[in-house]
């Protein structure tokens, strides 16, 4: 697929979201809290769910697009298990990309780009946490943005993609007005209809969120 095909749709206005994450990075540095997670333990738990998509041996080489890569934490997680992984990270915050490039300057098989969409196709694409912070965007507008981004993940992946969202089944007293809580059944049905027959919904790992794995038939 040509690179131009990966950029058919324009994302929702994301400048305010980029500013939000730049601020968290400035306050907490390149860390789990710097990308608005509570800590590394829950961050790695999310990565464990996403990585269930990968269907290859530890020695095999494969390529990954990480959309919303932040400072590149997923790269560390993947390299520990798959040392031959070829990684491309993309983020809407220029400061995040600067932090990722500095942190992973010696990672020869990794590249980072200040962009809202992947510039090339990979075997697998991942998106962790990029749908959570909607700020003042209405739920209907943000859902459209989510679906458009899933189309991008689909077009930029040959073997499949995985993403997570905060769940609409969260305790109401703990929900925050600037965050987006998606209906897991709605997105599961959308992925089944639009992208692949082999879709897994993971909603049992102890966090107020879910992960969807979309596996394509080669």
CATH of the domain at 135: 3.40.50.150
pLDDT the model gives residue 8? 39
Report the alpha-carbon distance of residue 1 to residue 5 in Å, rounded.
Answer: 7
Maximum alpha-carbon separation in the chain: 46
Number of domains in the chain: 1
Condensed to tens digits (0 to 9), the pLDDT of residues 143-194 reads 999 999 999 999 999 999 999 999 999 999 989 999 999 999 999 999 999 9
Range of the domain at 27: 3-215
Answer yes or no: is pLDDT of 7 > 50.
no
| Residue 10 CA neighbour count, 13 Å, CB half | 3
Report the alpha-carbon distance of residue 179 to residue 130 in Å, rounded.
Answer: 11
Work out the burial of residue 83: count CB atoms within 10 Å of its CB; fewer than 13 is exposed, 13-18 middle, 19 or more buried. exposed
Report the alpha-carbon distance of residue 109 to residue 4 in Å, rounded.
Answer: 23
pLDDT the model gives residue 6? 41
Answer yes or no: is pLDDT of 59 > 80.
no
User: Between 105 and 150, whose confidence is greater?
Assistant: 150
Prediction pTM value: 0.90
């Amino acid at each position: 697929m040509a690179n131009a095909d990966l950029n058919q749709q324009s994302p929702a206005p994301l400048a305010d979201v980029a500013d939000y994450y730049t601020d968290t990075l400035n306050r907490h540095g390149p860390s789990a809290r710097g990308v608005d997670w509570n800590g590394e333990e829950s961050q790695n738990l999310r990565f464990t769910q996403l990585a269930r998509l990968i269907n290859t041996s530890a020695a095999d080489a494969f390529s990954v697009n990480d959309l919303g890569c932040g400072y590149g934490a997923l790269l560390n997680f993947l390299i520990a298990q798959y040392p031959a992984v070829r990684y491309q990270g993309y983020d809407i915050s220029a400061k995040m990309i600067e932090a990722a490039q500095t942190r992973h300057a010696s990672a020869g098989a990794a590249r980072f780009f200040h962009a809202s969409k992947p510039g090339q196709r990979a075997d697998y694409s991942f998106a962790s946490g990029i749908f959570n912070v909607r700020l003042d965007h209405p739920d209907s507008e943000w859902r459209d943005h989510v679906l458009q981004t899933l189309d991008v993940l689909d077009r930029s992946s040959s073997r499949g993609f995985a993403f997570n969202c905060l769940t609409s089944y969260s305790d109401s007293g703990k929900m925050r007005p600037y965050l987006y809580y998606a209906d897991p059944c709605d997105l599961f049905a959308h992925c089944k209809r639009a992208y692949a027959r082999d879709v897994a919904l993971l909603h049992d790992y102890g966090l107020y969120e879910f992960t969807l794995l979309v596996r394509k038939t080669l």
